[in-house]
Chains A and B, each alone.
Chain A
Amino acid sequence: MRFDVVATHFRTVVESVGSADELAIAMGMITPLLGFEHYALSHHVDAAHGNAVRLHDYPERWASYYERNALSVTDPVHRASHVTSSGFCWSNMPNMIPLTAGDRRMLALGRDQGIGDGFTVPAHVPGEARGSCSFANRAGRPMPAHMLPLAQLAGNFAFEAARRLWTTRGHRSTPRPVLTDRQRDCMLWVARGKSDWEVGCILGISEETVARHVRNACERYGVNKRTLLVIRTLFDGTLTFTDLVGR
């Protein structure tokens, strides 16, 4: 297969696939060419989260168990994909993140259900939920090592194709909360662990004013705890981890 043909194919999938069903057909064609039996495209949030990307051809029993237990959030494969930007084999996960007993049980269960070993391509677009594209085989099938560089690119393009479909379905249509600059200043120091009194001293405003900014910021995001607000602002790019640790 000539590379420019493959590259054009990837580009075509991203630019012309018009529905989840069409993307599923394209993935169903690409996956075996890469030496895998299954694929899964997903944003790493609970499926209850309306517009999250979720497209796969995993065995039905495993998929429903996975959804029922909201495993997407704790899935070690997803967690591992947050510590690297390049594709990895699941067998390498113990070197990437600490695996709990629960993680090992989940991986064993997946193996029993036909999802044994896989290769996952992380996909992170700042300001949006992290996601990934995984290719998987039942246990015992050899990892198609020579195809992994191609699987990497296929994963990048497939995720972007899915992202565009789900985005036009309204992912962007709900206006995202925006903080005032002063609210953001306050949140930055709150996220760095400062009390309202300390934040007030740093910004030269009263403790009460800080508390009001934080309260108003919570209202804009519809959350009732400042910890949740910190998480949401990190998640949507209002704050970054670099902001928190300073430079």
Chain B
Amino acid sequence: MLHVLQSAGGPASDDALRAMFAARKSVFVDLLKWDVPVIDDTYEVDQFDDVHATYLILAEPDGAHLGSARLLQTTRPHILDSLYGMLCEEAPPRAADILEITRFCLDRRLTARERRAVRDTLVTTLVEHALANGIRAYTAIAEIGWFQQILAFGWQCAPLGLSQIVDGAMLVALRIDVTSETPALLARAGIMAPPIRRDERLAA
């Protein structure tokens, strides 16, 4: 099931959000050792998890987290302009119809095969979300190994600057353009997802 959520009531207001924040803690803090804030020793929540963030969350019918991504408005403070501006050769792209993908998160409980299915579903969901909401491009920051995979998804992707080593990891800022052609480009690269149930709402 896909939840498209805009949070207004904080992390405890919704099961899907809570499961996502816990999964993010497990992936980004426990596994990848990112130095980001943790609440109650359980939830990874930072200053960008506010009313302006949008979340795409894939979950099992019982609410268990499968995968998720956070979308930030580039016209407001976001990660690329606030923390990693040096990764952009010019000013970070900033427009109402350009969003930043952050915290792309695949649940650690998944097996290799499930991971791949959830990853593909999340990628196609990002593109569908863009097309349905008039978003023409995404920006993102990726570790260089992940960047090679992002290129392999087949969509139109270009770097925003040279890759640089930041805190021991080589990072690159990138831009993904989304057009009506993009779903076909993904399909050609073998990235396809089964239709899923949607739950689109504003969490109050």
Partners in one complex: yes
Asked whether, in the complex, the Cβ of B152 is within 8 Å of the Cβ of A239, the reply is: no
Q: Tell me the B103-162 residues at the A interface (CB within 8 Å).
A: 108, 111-113, 116, 143-149, 151-152, 154, 156-162
Given contacts A149-B162, A237-B116, A239-B112, contact A156 B144 (CB under 8 A): yes
The complex places the Cα of A247 from the Cα of B113 at a distance, in Å, of: 16
The complex places the Cα of A195 from the Cα of B50 at a distance, in Å, of: 52
Asked whether, in the complex, the Cβ of A160 is within 8 Å of the Cβ of B162, the reply is: no
Chain A proximity of B30: nearest CB distance (Å): 10
DSSP class of B's interface residues: helix, strand, loop or mixed? mixed
> Does any Cβ of B come within 8 Å of A15's Cβ?
yes
Residues of chain A lying within 8 A (CB to CB) of residue B108: 247
The listed residue (B111, B143, B159, B165) touching A7 by CB distance below 8 A is: B159
Chain A proximity of B65: nearest CB distance (Å): 16
Chain A proximity of B194: nearest CB distance (Å): 16
The complex places the Cα of A125 from the Cα of B145 at a distance, in Å, of: 9
Using a Cβ–Cβ cut-off of 8 Å, how many residues does chain A contribute to the interface with B? Answer: 36
**1/0 per residue A108-133: CB within 8 Å of B?**
00000000000000111111000000
| CB nearest to B165 among chain A residues | A86
Asked whether, in the complex, the Cβ of B148 is within 8 Å of the Cβ of A160, the reply is: yes
DSSP class of A's interface residues: helix, strand, loop or mixed? helix
Asked whether, in the complex, the Cβ of B163 is within 8 Å of the Cβ of A153, the reply is: yes
Residues of chain B lying within 8 A (CB to CB) of residue A127: 116
**1/0 per residue A130-160: CB within 8 Å of B?**
0000000000000000000110110011011
Residues of chain A lying within 8 A (CB to CB) of residue B151: 14, 156-157, 160
> Does any Cβ of A come within 8 Å of B170's Cβ?
yes
> Does any Cβ of A come within 8 Å of B164's Cβ?
yes
Asked whether, in the complex, the Cβ of A243 is within 8 Å of the Cβ of B111, the reply is: yes
| CB nearest to B112 among chain A residues | A240
> Does any Cβ of B come within 8 Å of A8's Cβ?
yes
> Does any Cβ of B come within 8 Å of A44's Cβ?
no
Residues of chain B lying within 8 A (CB to CB) of residue A172: 190
Tell which of B145, B148, B149, B172 has the most Cβ of chain A within 10 Å. B148
The complex places the Cα of A161 from the Cα of B59 at a distance, in Å, of: 34
Asked whether, in the complex, the Cβ of B156 is within 8 Å of the Cβ of A15, the reply is: yes
Asked whether, in the complex, the Cβ of B163 is within 8 Å of the Cβ of A243, the reply is: no
Asked whether, in the complex, the Cβ of A156 is within 8 Å of the Cβ of B148, the reply is: yes
Given contacts A4-B90, A123-B148, A153-B163, contact A10 B112 (CB under 8 A): no
**1/0 per residue A2-41: CB within 8 Å of B?**
0110011011001100000000000000000000000000
Q: Tell me the B63-100 residues at the A interface (CB within 8 Å).
A: 89-90
Residues of chain B lying within 8 A (CB to CB) of residue A149: 162-164
> Does any Cβ of B come within 8 Å of A163's Cβ?
yes
Question: 19 interchain pairs (CB within 8 A)?
Answer: A3-B90, A3-B161, A10-B158, A15-B156, A87-B144, A124-B145, A125-B149, A126-B116, A153-B162, A153-B163, A156-B147, A157-B151, A159-B148, A160-B151, A164-B189, A184-B111, A184-B113, A238-B112, A240-B112
